[in-house]
Structure 1
Amino acid sequence: MASSLEYLLNRYADKTCTPEEKEELMRQLQEGGNDEAMQQVIDKMIEERPAIHSMPDATAQAVLQAIFEADEAPVVPLETGRLRKISFGRIATTAVVLLLVTVAGWLLVTRTSNKQVATLTTNGDVAPGGNKALLTLSNRSTIVLDNAANGVVAHEGNAAVIKLKNGELKYTTADDQPANSSVEIAFNTLSTPKGGEYTVVLPDGTQVWLNAASSITYPTVFDAKERKVQITGEAYFEVAKLLSADGRKRVPFVVDILPATGRGTVGGRIEVLGTHFNVNAYNDEKAIKTTLLEGKVKVTKDEASAILKPGEQVSISHPDSYRDRSSHLSQPIPVQTDAVMAWKNGVFHFENADIKTVMRQLSRWYDVEVVYRRNPDTDDPLFFEVSRHTNLSDVLKVLNLAGGARYSIENKKIIVQ
């Protein structure tokens, strides 16, 4: 039973469960029958998942209490002796594993009831963001891509700009090869609004995913010696390898990080040969963060530089004040890339996050304001994962499980109280 339960729990947490496996998991949890084996499996799972293991007891207790209050017969039956044997917070974190890994991000885990865990006051729900972007051509004309038909939307030099059906923009020449350097270089800008995201395949084959309220400016033809782009907001890159004309050298790929206005002092520079990395450069975040997933990059700020290895992140702090315009480059540190890449993978994923961090992401994706009617700094950190493709009300239901602050929607505003 232990090996079967461990397999099913991990499949469920990783969202790879088949319907039959999910049904079998729920059956085993309902039946119990071997508390010691179940406890060992649960303890092992919690130890192997740091975000669950480090959840504050107060948060875990509030979640478990909500589950108990929703139905008289919870999935995991708890005997008095067992309560003494395992801490309340650790049992609660087990419930969180089941509660927070569904597609919608929340699931009422009960024996017979589908009753709602927490009430949520809404005055007009908010749909999730989607494929929305504005393309600015070299002649400064613009195309609203979410309204444009699929197919060729423009020509720039010898490159055709094609809108694909899956929310992707692609630059190709007649023979589907990257444009060559003999053509006059012009620049395009792809920008997403709040509540938007988009993907672009650049002339060299590099693929870029743009998060909400972000932009990328790039040439329609790359220079033979250097490929350079500029970004604001957040973007994930899968850089194509490109050799020089003689085939002896790789053509470097350079990303300049700009303020949200798209103008002003470069916030940092990333030099790449061929790699996968993410850049978060929103002005309202505490720092510009570059995270490497594959390959090798060099991040430079003024005279300082750092070379990243896969799984590492480096930060460039924003100036502390208007007078202090200096910023600093940190040393590389190891990070959990799941949280960094969550947006690109279609989920919100938070580990030990404060309320303001969570609200900034929700504000950008749902294009809403956030109103604080209490001091959020006193609340426990948040641990949860939820699909970005669900309505805002479903996300707030998950947050309301954590206790502390309460969340509601009023006329495209999130109220934190």
Structure 2
Amino acid sequence: MNKQTISGFIRDYLHHKLNEKQKAQLETWYLLKAEENKSVEMPIAYEKLEAKIWNKIIADVSQTTQELPKVQKLKQSYRRIISIGIAASLILIAGIGYLVLKNNANTPDRFVIAKKYDLPAGTDKATLTLSDGKVIDLNKDAVGKIAAEAGIEITRSVDGTLVYKALNTGKSAGFNTITTPIGGQYAVILPDGSKVWLNAGSSLKYPTAFAENGREVALTGEGYFEVAHREGPKGRVPFSVTVVKNQTPSERVEVLGTHFNINAYADEPFINTTLLIGSVKVALNNNKAALLKPGQTARLSNENIKVQQADTEMAVAWKNGEFVFREDLRSAMRKVARWYDVEIIYDETAPEDLMLGGWMSRGTNISEVLNHIQLTGKVHFKLEGRRVIVSK
């Protein structure tokens, strides 16, 4: 962050105007200043180190802010953060475009993933399987019309989104399936105008034309939905999602609103349905059901539904091109594995219960993510091809 951005964040922090992400960015900036001023060879007493860091912070912002008399409040706030032991994990919050990890002389070599072993982030790629069995690689086709079948035309927009358009030919509808690989993501606008974003390792099956009395799709993996309102002869046409986990239909989401996220990966312990706008009804095969309000998550476990307050930022971070880590290490590494197409291997020393907190861009190479997590000082990564070895 430049000086003007820093001073603006400090000013807004003091007036309680920062949102959670901005607070995280400011806290990370402060803690990375601490990291820059550490001396591995000659440790400095805590009080002297804190004073040295804070003097550098004041020097950084002194030319652009009028709030320095109040800035001690911020210092006290961070002293409390550090004192309760979460300072190291907050370093994870550094994001591309905001902070850059400086590999200076004081950074231990074991905390640096060499660039020659680096892996790029995932990209927009998927395959489309038509009703006749034909498979189209959406990573290679040019923008424009890519297929036509069963009375619909399928095109790719300039931003890569798959778009369906009805041709009103009277032909019966078939089913298409869009599938994203590990390390891929894609978005599709369905025949009714609803838009669905698919995360890595996911699939969506849907008809090429919806019936007048209902709209039904099936999801595996993770998807974010923005459902279009549609009126039929008998009123509003319902939209429902059958959620499939481990090749078994696990729940049905009946949409009464518009914006929601479903996470149903086979390697996750729960199916989480998170509502942002509108309302949805989550129903199980055993007739148990729950109605969600915005800001709530329905967590499915052992054929039971638990409704709880949602961390909506974390739930939809992937769709917004971000990692948000407010979870345990192994949960975070499952996200990393899917996006970078790597295998995670834990050796006998790997921490079992390390909790993380922070965010990063999903557009950066894997080394940036791993290097920042390592700054907790409680975990170490070794990258071997497409294997990430995790140790203490």
TM bin, normalised by shorter chain, reads 0.7 to 0.9
CA contact (8 A) 2:96 2:361 kept: yes
CA contact (8 A) 2:297 2:308 kept: yes
Residue 215 of structure 1 aligns to which amino acid in structure 2? S
Q: How far apart are 1:213 and its partner, in Å?
A: 0.1
Same amino acid, percent of matched pairs? 35
**Which of the numbers 261, 264, 268 marks the counterpart of 1:278?**
261
Equivalent residue for 1:408?
382
Q: How far apart are 1:295 and its partner, in Å?
A: 0.6
Equivalent residue for 2:113?
121
Equivalent residue for 2:123?
130
CA contact (8 A) 1:106 1:394 kept: no
Q: 1:366–1:404: structure 2 CA closer, same or farther, 3 Å change rule?
A: same
Q: How far apart are 1:206 and its partner, in Å?
A: 0.4
Residue 103 (structure 1) aligned with residue 96 (structure 2): yes
Q: 1:252–1:401: structure 2 CA closer, same or farther, 3 Å change rule?
A: same
Q: Secondary structure at the match of 1:146?
A: coil
Question: d(CA) in 2 for partners of 1:106 and 1:117?
Answer: 16
Q: 1:96–1:233: structure 2 CA closer, same or farther, 3 Å change rule?
A: closer
Residue 67 (structure 1) aligned with residue 54 (structure 2): no
Q: 1:345–1:70: structure 2 CA closer, same or farther, 3 Å change rule?
A: farther
Question: d(CA) in 2 for partners of 1:144 and 1:41?
Answer: 48
CA contact (8 A) 2:155 2:162 kept: yes
Q: 1:148–1:50: structure 2 CA closer, same or farther, 3 Å change rule?
A: closer
**Which of the numbers 237, 240, 245 marks the counterpart of 1:254?**
240
Residue 346 (structure 1) aligned with residue 321 (structure 2): yes
Q: Secondary structure at the match of 1:139?
A: coil
Q: How far apart are 1:88 and its partner, in Å?
A: 4.1
Q: How does 1:300-379 map to 2 (within 5 A)?
A: 300-302=283-285, 303-317=287-301, 327-351=302-326, 353-379=327-353
Equivalent residue for 1:385?
359
State the Cα deviation string for residues 216-242 of structure 1 (Å, max 9, x = none). Answer: 000001011110000100000000011
Q: Secondary structure at the match of 1:362?
A: helix
CA contact (8 A) 1:188 1:218 kept: yes
Q: Secondary structure at the match of 1:24?
A: helix
Q: How far apart are 1:329 and its partner, in Å?
A: 2.7
State the Cα deviation string for residues 372-407 of structure 1 (Å, max 9, x = none). Answer: 124544443101100000000011111011120112
Q: How far apart are 1:370 and its partner, in Å?
A: 0.7
Q: 1:43–1:281: structure 2 CA closer, same or farther, 3 Å change rule?
A: same
Q: 1:26–1:185: structure 2 CA closer, same or farther, 3 Å change rule?
A: closer
Q: 1:138–1:350: structure 2 CA closer, same or farther, 3 Å change rule?
A: same
Q: Secondary structure at the match of 2:335?
A: helix
Equivalent residue for 1:203?
191
Q: Which runs of 5 or more residues in structure 1 are unaligned? A: 1-11, 13-21, 30-37, 54-58, 318-326
Question: d(CA) in 2 for partners of 1:61 and 1:25?
Answer: 13
Q: Which runs of 5 or more residues in structure 2 are unaligned? A: 41-48, 59-71
Which of 373-382 and 129-138 deviates more? Answer: 373-382
Q: 1:86–1:195: structure 2 CA closer, same or farther, 3 Å change rule?
A: closer
**Which of the numbers 207, 216, 220 marks the counterpart of 1:219?**
207
Q: 1:166–1:25: structure 2 CA closer, same or farther, 3 Å change rule?
A: closer
State the Cα deviation string for residues 103-122 of structure 1 (Å, max 9, x = none). Answer: 2574358xxx9768563134
Q: How far apart are 1:150 and its partner, in Å?
A: 1.3
> Could you state the TM-score of these two structures normalised by the residue count of structure 1?
0.76
Q: How many residues align?
A: 359
Question: d(CA) in 1 for partners of 2:73 and 2:30?
Answer: 16
Equivalent residue for 1:237?
225
Question: d(CA) in 2 for partners of 1:150 and 1:403?
Answer: 46
Question: d(CA) in 1 for partners of 2:289 and 2:107?
Answer: 49
